[in-house]
């Protein structure tokens, strides 16, 4: 099965605009498909950002929707930008299908926030820690699969060292820094890496201590992705063992934003967090 290309924030924005234009014209997908000379499912995939619309198709759609000339060129440029390939497209066969969309969206995000209950987030992991995580699967990956997985994870981290890194704000359950992954040395070096990252101006890390008791995120971790343009709505990503869920409905996103606000209010401050991480590193 051919993996879908990762929809970027630009592709999502174009898809939403085309969907709104069709609805404003009072046209069904079947009506548009007939004019465009394609099947209705093709229109559905374009409007769901599941496929990159060809420039010729976007041009025709804008004509069907009677879009003024000054707006048409702006949308055509958006369509051209949306078709640009990212580094993840070249190796999409090596990325689990459910995670391909996330990698593309993560690359576009200006703010990544969230909560993790079990392990260090992928963007913060050392290679040896990541290898130990991958080695905990019920079915061990082959050497080739392990190498590809590690390569992708390390490639994702390059954005943190770029000229325009995303702002990151992560709340970690205390279990994350207490659970020994790999061996003592692997865990110590991972915690030292976490301390280094916490000193970066664009990275905020807070620990939700054990003594904080019950909290509203006890059912698992999540990520909230925000993008530079206000026209690109936030996305919540929920990861589970064999897949992932993307939430875009405003009510869902707002609920998770409130949840994150509660978590960071209950978590330790930056200085207390660093002290606890140092303590855990010394104990490994």
- pLDDT tens column, 196-219: 999 999 999 999 999 999 999 999
Q: What CATH number has the domain spanning 9-82?
A: 1.10.260.40
Mean predicted lDDT score pLDDT of the chain: 89
The model's pLDDT over 89-140, given as tens digits with 9 standing for 90+, comes to 666 666 677 687 788 889 889 999 999 999 999 999 999 999 999 999 888 8
Residue 234 DSSP class: -
CATH dotted code for 90-283: 3.30.870
C-alpha distance across the termini of the chain, in Å = 44
Task: Please name the residue ranges forming H helices in the chain.
Answer: 9-24, 29-36, 40-47, 55-64, 69-82, 87-90, 97-108, 127-134, 143-157, 174-178, 184-198, 250-266, 270-283
Q: How far apart are CA 62 and CA 25, in angstroms?
A: 11
On the 0-12 / 13-18 / 19+ scale of CB atoms within 10 A, 102 is buried
Q: Rounded to 5 degrees, what angle do the CA atoms 171, 123, 112 make?
A: 55
Q: Domain ranges in the chain?
A: 9-82, 90-283
At 158-191, the pLDDT tens digits run 999 999 999 999 999 999 999 999 999 999 999 9
């Amino acid at each position: 099965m051919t993996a879908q290309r990762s929809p970027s924030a630009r592709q999502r924005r174009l898809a939403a605009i085309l969907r709104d234009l069709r609805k404003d014209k009072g046209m069904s997908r079947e009506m548009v498909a007939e004019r465009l000379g394609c099947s209705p499912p093709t229109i559905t995939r374009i409007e769901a950002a599941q496929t990159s619309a060809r420039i010729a198709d976007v041009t025709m759609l804008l004509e069907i929707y009677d879009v003024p000339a000054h707006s048409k060129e702006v949308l055509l440029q958006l369509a051209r930008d949306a078709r640009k390939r990212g580094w993840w497209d070249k190796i999409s066969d090596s990325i689990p299908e459910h995670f391909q969309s996330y990698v593309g969206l993560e690359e576009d995000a200006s703010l990544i926030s969230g909560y993790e209950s079990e392990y260090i987030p992928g963007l913060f992991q050392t290679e040896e820690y990541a290898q130990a995580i991958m080695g905990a699967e019920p079915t061990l990956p082959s050497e080739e699969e392990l190498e590809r997985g590690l390569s992708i994870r390390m490639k994702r981290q390059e954005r943190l060292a770029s000229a325009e890194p995303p702002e990151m704000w992560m709340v970690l359950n205390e279990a994350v820094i207490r659970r020994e992954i790999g061996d003592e040395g692997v865990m110590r070096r991972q915690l030292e890496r976490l301390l280094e990252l916490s000193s970066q101006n664009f990275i905020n890390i807070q620990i939700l201590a054990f003594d904080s008791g019950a909290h509203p995120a006890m059912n698992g971790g999540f990520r909230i992705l925000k993008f530079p343009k206000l026209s690109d709505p936030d996305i919540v990503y929920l990861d589970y063992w064999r897949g992932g869920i993307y939430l875009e409905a405003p009510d869902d996103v707002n609920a998770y934003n409130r949840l994150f606000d509660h978590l960071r209010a209950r978590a330790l401050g930056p200085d207390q967090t660093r002290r606890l991480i140092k303590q855990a590193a010394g104990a490994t």
